Each structure stands twice: as structure tokens, then as C-alpha cells.
């Protein structure tokens, strides 16, 4: 069905499976050894870590060379090196397979590699690499003053309590409820559960609503970190295209009728990665479809930064009685990613169930972080407006640099948010990502956001860097683009 695609769990082409396992393989051995030795060392480490198993077939030299954007001779030499130390074996007709020496015990079982490599590398030291996988933003200026005020005014009372609030610190639940009410979504504190960031919120909702083999509808493209949460549960994903107003209602209606999904996940305000702001009419239509097909809706507003005055209220504001809409938010973009505070708003009954899942996960998010967030939430509109102004200036600078140094790239100016969704003409972004990595830039290729292949020639380009970093970033990408063109 046009515009509606099952998002496969294991779409692997041109050696992309091994590429994901290897990660930043070019930095192996400090980047001083020849490419073939760095590649061989990365495969050796993957075998010892348990990411590659005995008997597992490696890609052909030609396929892996194409996926890594290196010469076939580089891969041939790397495989020769691995054969010489007894870690792989090649036979005519069966290709090259992993071999485990006698009495070999891997240091891990490889299960963590089930997640997207972008998320895996979030815990790795980036070195001199500029990463486009996540925004690196300093904390809002208000943060220091609010923290000092908290220590002087609120700390004694907080320390006198037990510190356990699975549903969230009451003062913060009240602050979130007031904030959501101001956006047009009438909310009581009992409808709010505080989470350790929006990522945990999505994880807890997944535990509540989905089981292996069930179906979730998502936008196509979407953010890899959220897709990984669903996939880790064994959920079948169905992607629906977007247009300038958000997820297409006509295709969503067909997806609901055909697949009978158990959940719908959308990002209405400054969708990640496209930056689209969903219209009020589209939000109303989604609420109507969800009610008709009895499908719970998760609306993720974690990427809302300084939404324009008069922006549509959340989808939950359009929901009829009995419809189930869960509204997720976070302070990461407007305040600081290091303040791991998020929330979920639903019915009182849903919030109570969610709080039980939260208690099983960690007994509640850190109280001092929550108390700080409670102080900052009344200032969120002001903080968001300041951040949005900065982002508009940096967007202008990014467009200027890209137009000057990489004029072939194409993009639509986003409605908001902090990233451009850039189309690379006639280029597989996964291959370009390998070239860019050798030039010191970690790129998020479109295949990570939409495994169907519809966005393989796109990359996400966060532009919220300081001017010096942004300029260096574009220069590196320009050099990588020149090399990939050659």
C-alpha cells in the first residue's frame, strides 16, 4: 500500500549488518594503522565482544567494500589478516565465516548490539568526532541560579522526606499539570507521571501497551531511538508517510483499518527528524481516527522548543471522552539534556498503572532533579523562546554555510526544532556516513529512521552548534562529500 510500509526488523543489505556492529571502526588503533588493519582489528574486537558468533557469515568483500566506502583490496587484506590469526575461514561457495579458537570465551553476548548503533555509541567517547546523532547544547543560563535557590530554600525539606515518589514529586506533577493546561490540554496533577526523560516514558508505555508480535503505527521517517524501544519488545512497526501538515490522515486511516494496530506513536510539534509542525486539523483528525479504531495514541512533544505563540494544542485536547491519548514531554531541549526529567500525561487510571511500572523500573526519578525541574517549569515558555531565537540564528548560519560549501544538498526549511532533514542527491547516506566518519563526523543516515528504503538518501543535520563548531562541521562534511563524489 502506497505510503504505508511495514518497517522490517532486519533489513540488511550491502554489508550494513556488519557496518552497524563495527561502529567507528576507523578510529581503531588510534587511526594510525592502514585502513585494512583497522578494519581487521574492529572485526576481531567484535568477535571477542560476542557481537559476531562462530559460524556467522561475513559479507562478501565487494559488498562490505561498498558499505564501508573503501576499496575491495582493503577488505580482502582485512579478511586475509583475520584468516592468518584463525578468526575467520573462507571456503568457495560458503563465503567467509567467523571461527572461534578452542577454549575461546567472548567478553559479552552481543545482545546490546540489538539496539541502533547510534544509541550504542552514545556511551562511547567521541574523541575529535563531531556527532550528528545528538544535540550538544549547554544548560540554560537560568539553571545555575535555580539550582542555588533550590539548595538554599528547599533542600532541608527535601532531605527530611523519604525520597520515594514513584509517580513523581507532587510539586513537579502540579507544575507539569499547570504547564499542559496553559498549552490547551486541561490537566490535573493526578494525571501526570514523572519519568527519567522522554526515552523512559516511551519505554514504560511500551511495557504497558505492547507485546511481542503486536503492531504499532509510526511516522515514516521517525527517530531511531524510539523505533529501537519498540523493536526491543518484538513489536511489528508500520510506517505512514508525512506531508507538510504531519502524518497523512488518509494513509493512517488505511493503516488502522488494514493492520488493527495496538498503538500509534507520533511527534506532532516539530517532528524529528523533519521539523514538521502538525496542523490543528490534522491533530483533530488523528484523535477522531484513534477513537474510531480504539487505538491508544502516544504524542511525543520532547522536541518542542519555543513553539510559536498560537501553536495548536496537543492531540489530547481534541480527544473525545473514552479516547486514550498519552502526552509525553521533556525538559531536554528547552533546558538541558543533562536534566533527565520527562513526563507522561494520561487519564487518572492510566497514570496509576504507569506509576506502578515506574516503581518497578526505579522507584522514582531523582528527587533533587525533580525539585529543580519544578522551579524551572514556570519559566519554560521564556526559556523555550530564548532557545528558539538562538536556533533561528544558527539555522540561518547553517543554511549560509551549506549553500556555500555543499550547494548540491537539498532541504526544506523546518517549521521548528533543531535539525535539517537533508537529501543527498543520488547517494546512499549509509555509504556517505562511512566517508564522513573518516573525516571526523558521525552522521545519522536515513536508513536508521526508516528501514524501508524510502529515505536512504537523507541525513539529519542538527544545526544548534556554536558557530566555530558549525563552521568546522560543514567544512568536514564538504571534504567528505567531495571524496564520495570522486
Provide Rg for the chain, Cα atoms. Answer: 24
Tell me, rounded to whole angstroms, the distance of Cα 378 from its chain centroid: 27
Q: Is residue 261 part of a domain?
A: yes
Distance CA 115, CA 480 (A): 27
The secondary structure of 97-154 as a DSSP string is: EE---TT---SS-SGGGGS-HHHHGGGS--TTPEESSS---PPPTHHHHHHHHHHHHT
CATH code, domain with 474: 3.90.1150.10
- Do 342 and 406 sit in the same domain of this protein? no
pTM, two decimal places = 0.85
Q: Is residue 117 part of a domain?
A: no
CATH code, domain with 375: 3.40.640.10
What are the pLDDT digits (tens) for 93-130? 778 999 876 666 665 554 444 445 555 555 454 568 89
pLDDT-flagged residues of the chain (< 50) = 1-2, 8-14, 110-115, 123, 125
CATH code, domain with 102: 1.10.10.10
Q: Is residue 124 part of a domain?
A: no
- Do 156 and 134 sit in the same domain of this protein? no
Give the cell for residue 428: 546512499
What are the pLDDT digits (tens) for 40-92? 998 998 888 888 888 889 999 999 998 888 999 999 999 999 999 989 998 87
- Do 433 and 328 sit in the same domain of this protein? no
- Do 307 and 338 sit in the same domain of this protein? yes
Last residue of a domain, one of 327, 348, 381: 381
- Do 463 and 346 sit in the same domain of this protein? no
- Do 134 and 245 sit in the same domain of this protein? no
Q: Is residue 121 part of a domain?
A: no
- Do 238 and 360 sit in the same domain of this protein? yes
- Domain hosting 355: range is 142-381
Domain count, the chain: 3
371: how many CB neighbours lie within 10 A of its CB?
21
Amino acid at each position: 500500500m502506497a505510503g504505508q510500509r511495514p518497517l522490517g526488523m532486519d533489513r540488511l543489505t550491502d554489508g550494513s549488518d556488519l557496518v552497524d556492529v563495527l561502529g567507528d571502526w576507523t578510529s581503531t588503533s588510534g587511526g594510525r594503522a592502514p585502513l585494512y588493519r583497522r578494519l581487521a582489528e574492529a572485526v576481531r574486537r567484535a568477535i571477542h565482544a560476542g557481537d559476531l558468533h562462530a559460524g556467522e557469515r561475513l559479507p562478501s568483500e565487494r559488498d562490505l567494500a561498498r558499505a564501508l566506502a573503501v576499496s575491495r583490496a582493503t577488505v580482502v587484506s582485512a579478511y586475509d589478516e583475520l584468516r592468518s590469526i584463525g578468526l575467520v575461514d573462507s571456503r568457495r561457495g560458503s563465503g567467509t565465516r567467523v571461527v572461534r579458537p578452542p577454549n575461546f570465551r567472548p567478553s559479552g553476548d552481543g545482545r546490546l548490539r540489538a539496539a541502533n548503533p547510534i544509541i550504542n555509541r552514545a556511551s562511547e567517547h567521541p574523541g575529535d568526532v563531531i556527532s550528528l546523532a545528538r544535540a550538544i547544547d549547554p544548560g540554560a543560563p537560568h539553571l545555575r541560579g535555580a539550582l542555588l535557590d533550590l539548595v538554599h530554600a528547599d533542600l532541608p525539606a527535601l532531605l527530611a522526606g523519604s525520597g520515594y515518589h514513584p509517580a513523581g514529586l507532587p510539586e513537579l506533577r502540579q507544575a507539569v499539570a499547570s504547564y499542559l493546561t496553559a498549552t490547551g490540554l486541561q490537566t490535573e496533577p493526578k494525571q501526570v507521571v514523572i519519568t527519567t526523560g522522554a526515552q523512559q516514558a516511551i519505554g514504560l508505555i511500551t511495557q504497558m501497551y505492547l507485546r511481542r508480535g503486536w503492531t504499532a503505527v509510526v511516522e515514516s521517517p521517525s527517530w531511531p531511538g524510539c523505533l529501537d524501544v519498540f523493536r526491543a519488545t518484538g513489536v511489528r512497526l508500520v510506517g505512514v508517510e508525512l506531508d507538510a501538515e504531519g502524518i497523512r490522515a488518509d494513509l493512517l486511516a488505511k493503516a488502522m483499518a488494514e493492520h488493527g494496530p495496538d498503538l500509534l506513536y507520533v511527534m506532532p510539534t516539530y517532528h524529528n527528524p523533519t521539523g514538521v509542525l502538525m496542523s490543528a486539523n490534522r491533530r483533530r483528525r488523528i484523535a477522531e481516527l484513534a477513537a474510531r479504531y480504539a487505538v491508544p495514541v502516544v504524542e511525543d512533544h520532547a522536541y518542542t522548543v519555543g513553539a510559536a505563540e498560537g501553536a495548536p494544542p496537543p492531540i489530547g485536547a481534541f480527544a473525545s471522552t473514552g479516547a486514550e491519548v498519552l502526552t509525553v514531554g521533556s525538559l531536554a531541549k528547552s533546558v538541558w539534556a543533562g536534566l533527565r526529567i520527562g513526563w507522561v500525561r494520561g487519564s487518572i487510571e492510566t497514570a496509576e498503572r504507569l506509576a506502578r511500572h515506574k516503581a518497578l523500573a526505579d522507584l522514582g526519578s531523582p528527587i533533587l532533579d525533580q525539585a529543580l525541574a519544578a522551579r524551572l517549569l514556570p519559566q519554560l515558555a521564556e526559556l523555550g523562546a530564548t532557545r528558539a531565537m538562538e536556533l533561528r540564528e544558527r539555522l540561518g548560519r547553517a543554511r549560509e554555510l551549506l549553500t556555500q560549501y555543499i550547494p548540491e544538498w537539498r532541504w526544506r526549511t523546518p517549521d521548528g526544532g533543531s535539525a535539517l532533514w537533508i537529501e543527498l542527491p543520488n547517494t546512499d547516506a549509509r555509504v556517505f556516513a562511512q566517508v564522513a566518519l573518516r573525516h571526523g563526523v558521525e552522521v545519522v543516515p536515513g536508513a536508521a529512521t526508516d528501514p524501508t528504503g524510502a529515505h536512504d538518501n537523507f541525513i539529519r543535520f542538527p544545526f544548534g552548534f556554536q558557530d566555530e563548531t558549525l563552521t568546522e562541521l560543514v567544512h568536514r562534511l564538504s571534504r567528505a562529500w567531495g571524496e564520495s563524489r570522486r
